[in-house]
Structure 1
Amino acid sequence: MAKHDQHTLTTASIEGTEPPSVLVEMHRLGETKYISATENFLDNYYVALQGSRHTIASYFCPYERFADGKELPGIVWNGSVFRTPEEYQALYEDRMPYTHYEVQSFDCHILNPTAMPPEKLKGGSGDPDKDIEKRMSIVAMVSGTVRLNEPKTGPLKQFSETFVLVPNPEKTANGPKSGVKGWIVQNMNFRFVV
């Protein structure tokens, strides 16, 4: 897997005050939980794009349309918008030539430490300041190359991709050894770099 760009999670506190308990929990977890989750997701996702294209839709949250008109997941591939994970999967199954992805680097951060409400976490404590590692969302920025058409001699293109990963509610409901993906894509934006 690619080299992770090192960074640290920092918080600012006013002298004499305690940081919010959510931030304390994030520090307790350290970076390893979300870095490991992101790296595991990326390893599996890019392998699926190359050779397990029939599984691509399972890497995304199910299509949902809200009362305000917002739709999830948000999927943009090189300027083309796909409404559902199945439409995006069809792009790879029906029209995409051979691809081989090489991730050169990625960076990730906790986007929202409490993206999933505590009451939706099956088997969780119900405490808004607990179970952060199972409730947070992660933003991941990826850069690399993709070889098209031929494994060794096909054209090589650089790409940049951004993901918002959220915990998979099915995983929390089915337990850690269920075989269900732990993290799924809520938003994705892929772009070839000129």
Structure 2
Amino acid sequence: MFAPNEDTLTKVSTDAAMEFVQAFYTSLQSNRGSISTFYSPATSTILFNGNVVAGGAAVQDIFVSQMPPTHYEVQSLDCQVINQKYPTATATGVKRAAEKSAKDISILVTVSGYAKFGVPKNVPQRVFSETFVLVPAPTNSLGGVAKGKGGKGWLIQSQNFRLVV
């Protein structure tokens, strides 16, 4: 199998970043009970304003039980491939080299925008910056996303959120 070229990697990573950002921030606003499904079980680091959070379930708990309703307005996003040969998991182990595809990569995604915490329309906007490392979700024997991940093709391995202002 041939290695994907730069154009293919750019398209795959850009499409993945855009799809992920749309789904993730929509869930933060209106489906907080699904937030943990965005995280890899092998999450390495999650930081919110310099505070370590234990994992996807802990992030979900913060948003469900501690955060007021929040509106996010993404102003920009960017991405780049970190690892072109990420060892993608399957239901039975790790993919062999002959099974690899252009989606077997890890991606750095940076997002910035505005967040409003609370319901009133006159709540001030806060600027935020967020960085993610996304990895491909494990696949089943048919090449589809493994059950239990909500059909998400990319999962958060690492995340750093920071309110800027």
Query: Do residues 113 (structure 1) and 84 (structure 2) align?
Result: yes
Task: Return closer, same or farther for 1:143/1:172 CA change in 2, 3 Å cut-off.
Answer: farther
1:149 is matched with 118
Task: Return closer, same or farther for 1:97/1:171 CA change in 2, 3 Å cut-off.
Answer: farther
Unaligned runs of 5+ in 2: none
Task: Return closer, same or farther for 1:32/1:73 CA change in 2, 3 Å cut-off.
Answer: same
**Counterpart amino acid of residue 113 in structure 1:** Q
- Provide the aligned length of Structure 1 versus Structure 2: 161
Measured on the aligned residues, the alpha-carbon RMSD in Å equals 2.6
1:138 is matched with 107
> Share of identical aligned residues, percent?
34
Match of 2:61 among 90, 110, 119: 90
Match of 2:96 among 88, 110, 126: 126
Q: Which has the higher contact order (CA 8 A, sep 6+)?
A: 2
2:133 is matched with 164
Task: Return closer, same or farther for 1:144/1:137 CA change in 2, 3 Å cut-off.
Answer: same
Task: Return closer, same or farther for 1:176/1:79 CA change in 2, 3 Å cut-off.
Answer: closer
TM-score, structure 2 normalization: 0.85
Query: Do residues 58 (structure 1) and 32 (structure 2) align?
Result: no
Unaligned runs of 5+ in 1: 1-20, 65-71
1:4 is matched with none
Structure 2 CA distance for aligned equivalents of residues 156 and 184 of structure 1: 28
Structure 2 CA distance for aligned equivalents of residues 143 and 171 of structure 1: 34
Point out 4+ residue stretches in structure 1 off by more than 6 angstroms.
Answer: 122-125
Contact in 1 for aligned 2:40/2:157 (Cα 8 Å): yes
Q: CA deviation at 1:151?
A: 5.3
TM-score, structure 1 normalization: 0.73
